[in-house]
Amino acid sequence: MDLAELTEEMRRRAGQNVKLGYKVKFVVEDGIIFWDGTDHPPAIDNEDKGDATTTITIAPENLQKLMAGNLDPTLAYMTGKLKVEGSMGVALKLTAMFAD
């Protein structure tokens, strides 16, 4: 999955969940996905809009596995496949959303 497909899948999933209330930046190899969850539905695009409550660094293939439920977020974090800067609580809320 490329960056555009990952972004679209994230938009689709985000629209099905409750308001997140935070801004999250996903840093992947070929760009970023910025999730502005302060509104519902959230604005999710590839433009870096500055400060985020949480920044998650992850390889595109691991993000795809995470969203598909084929990668446990705790295991990914513990093995270094997923790095979190900022609020760990927000990252945990996102993993719950992806599990739905």
Q: Any idea what DSSP says for residue 71?
A: S
**Partners of 33 in beta bridges:** 26
> So what's the pLDDT on residue 67?
87
Half-sphere exposure of 20 (CA within 13 A, CB side): 31
What tokens does 34 get? 């910025």
Chain segment 41-86, per-residue pLDDT in tens: 889 999 998 889 999 999 999 999 988 889 988 899 999 999 999 9
If you search the block for the tokens 């409550």, which residue do you land on? 53
Residue 68, by phi and psi: left (phi above 0), alpha (psi -120 to 50) or beta? alpha
**Percentage of the chain exceeding pLDDT 70:** 97
Do 24 and 94 meet the contact criterion of CB atoms below 8 Å apart?
yes
Number of C-beta neighbours around residue 35 at 10 A: 25
> So what's the pLDDT on residue 73?
87
**Partners of 56 in beta bridges:** 26, 84
